[in-house]
Amino acid sequence: MADGLGVAVIGAGMAGRAHAAAYRTRRHCTTPVLPPVRLVSIGDVNAEFSSLAARRFGYERNDTSWQAIAAADDIDVVSVVIANSLHREVVEGLLAAGKHVLCEKPLSDTLDDARGMADAAHTATSIARVGFTYRRTPGIAYIRDLVRSGELGKVLHFSGRYWTDYACSPTAPMSWRFKGNPGSGALADVGSHLAYVAEFLCGQTLSVSGGRLSTAITQRPLPLGHVMGHDHVAVSDEYEAVENDDYAAFSAEFENGVGGLEVSRVAAGHANSLIFEVFCENGAARFDQRRPAEIELFLSSGNTTENGYRQVILGPGHPYLSGGLAMDAPSVGFGQNDAFGYQARAFLEEVAGIDEVSSLPRCATFDEGVHNMQLLAAVAQSAASGGSAVAIPSRTVLSNGMVSA
Ligand SMILES: NC(=O)c1ccc[n+]([C@@H]2O[C@H](COP(=O)([O-])OP(=O)(O)OC[C@H]3O[C@@H](n4cnc5c(N)ncnc54)[C@H](O)[C@@H]3O)[C@@H](O)[C@H]2O)c1
């Protein structure tokens, strides 16, 4: 790190490109200014993808194996943005080579592998974090501030959904997202985010019940080309079975309040709808990912004949925005790509030893990644037993918001 931080991204797919762009903007776009950040390599087994992404986002080179990145002396920090079942081998190899690792969510495709990764993180000399991107979403962080400051007060009830529609067409091609155990479908893909957000606001989940998993489209055509992210490509007339859930729902009992969570990848018209409402002692707040630069806020105090939800446009007075956008002025708007930027900033600052600007926690630990997967596994267990209640092992939340095993 003598001449700054060398950065690489493994996986040049849908989310890998968001990481690649985030490191690019964050090295210049934030105050306090980070040490020099060198954009070194994009790694992807598909050389065409890694080469294209390296050129597009201004990285020095591309690689086709994670081992080349692990062995490179000029790389300090690596994002791992590949299929969940591939996380463990790559992350453990990178940690063994002393790299700081930001691994995408969910931590892995099985709880056993996630636990193995957390063990590797405990003994590593470098930093290992999970990319629960919504932790760095200004509107969600602001609602958490309002809960914790007492303005909204303690949460009583959370209602959240993460609806997507990438699989609602029966001709949407087979990809890694449709393979794995019950609960590794929509529940792991977007339910991991929603469960994380719910706990971010309501505290630890004590138990889940009413688990329900459903596969609406049971087989999918094989693609004739590479499927990147949620892309629809030309398909063959050969089909394979879908192994996991298109839809999942459950109830949760949190440290503070109770809630209902519902996720889908077959919700036509909702490409990316993380929407929640949180009801608290002194009011309520609503967030909709499709309008991420605002929240809706209801405070019970005031003139009760005129009271109601009001729109709050987010600006430099809200988390991450001041010093976090090139033009950090009111009402300029921002989106999900910026949240990847705030996440990259938090990770690079932690690696560089810069104090957190805000009092909010940094990126999630691998122990939090394991906890998140325990929660998802409990939902699958509840679903398998007809909806019975399943307790979640407790975790320790430290004063800085980090979680230990
Ligand atoms: N935080 C978020 O909001 C968010 C959004 C989307 C995806 N994700 C997560 O990001 C990860 C990747 O998802 P995606 O949608 O970008 O996948 P994707 O299928 O679009 O891209 C994966 C890429 O990995 C490459 N690849 C496959 N095996 C590899 C290997 N061994 N080494 C290097 N590259 C390899 C593929 O060629 C492909 O380009 C998943 O864990 C997913 O859950 C997170």
Output the six-digit token pair for 137: 């979403």
Name the residue of 19, 82, 175, 372 whose CB sits within 8 Å of the most ligand 1 atoms, as the mutation to test its pocket.
82
Name the residue of 9, 10, 14 whose CB sits within 8 Å of the most ligand 1 atoms, as the mutation to test its pocket.
14
Indicate the burial class of 214 (C-beta count within 10 angstroms; 0-12, 13-18, 19 or more): middle
Lowest-confidence segment of 27-41, 61-75, 207-221, 360-374 by average pLDDT = 27-41
Pairing of strands 128-131, 100-104: parallel
Handedness of CA 354, 360, 364, 365 (dihedral sign): positive
Enter the DSSP assignment of 267.
Answer: -
Residues 111 and 178: their CA atoms lie apart, in Å, by 18
Task: Provide residues with CB under 6 Å of ligand 1.
Answer: 10-16, 43-46, 49, 66, 81-82, 84, 86, 104-105, 131, 133, 189, 228-229
Residues 74 and 319: their CA atoms lie apart, in Å, by 33
Please say whether the beta carbons of 389 and 208 come within 8 A.
yes
Q: Give the closest residue (by CA) to ligand 1 atom 30.
A: 45
pLDDT of residue 402: 55
| CA of residue 17 to ligand 1 center, whole Å | 9
DSSP-based three-state secondary structure for 337: helix
Other CB atoms closer than 10 Å to residue 251's CB: what's the count?
18
Name the residue of 56, 81, 376 whose CB sits within 8 Å of the most ligand 1 atoms, as the mutation to test its pocket.
81
pLDDT of residue 2: 55
pLDDT of residue 373: 96
Residues 83 and 184: their CA atoms lie apart, in Å, by 11
| CA of residue 250 to ligand 1 center, whole Å | 27
Per-residue pLDDT at 399 exceeds 70: no
110's CB contacts (< 8 A; 6+ apart) are: 181
Q: Give the closest residue (by CA) to ligand 1 atom 9.
A: 104
DSSP-based three-state secondary structure for 222: strand
Look up the pTM and report it. 0.96
Enter the DSSP assignment of 190.
Answer: I
Please say whether the beta carbons of 231 and 172 come within 8 A.
no
Handedness of CA 24, 77, 359, 154 (dihedral sign): positive
Per-residue pLDDT at 345 exceeds 60: yes
Q: Give the closest residue (by CA) to ligand 1 atom 6.
A: 15
Short-list 241, 250, 162, 252, CA closest to 204: 252
Q: Give the closest residue (by CA) to ligand 1 atom 21.
A: 13
70-99 exposure pattern, b = at least 16 Cβ within 10 A, e = fewer? bebeebbbbbbbbebebbbebbbbbbebeb
pLDDT > 90 in the chain, percent: 84
> What's phi and psi for 210, nearest 5 deg?
65, 25
| CA of residue 30 to ligand 1 center, whole Å | 26
| CA of residue 18 to ligand 1 center, whole Å | 11
pLDDT of residue 129: 97
pLDDT of residue 210: 98
| CA of residue 279 to ligand 1 center, whole Å | 35
pLDDT of residue 358: 52
What mean pLDDT is predicted for residues 103-111?
97
Per-residue pLDDT at 404 exceeds 70: no
Split at pLDDT 50, 70, 90, the class of 361 is: low
Name the residue of 41, 103, 104, 273 whose CB sits within 8 Å of the most ligand 1 atoms, as the mutation to test its pocket.
104
Residues 279 and 152: their CA atoms lie apart, in Å, by 8
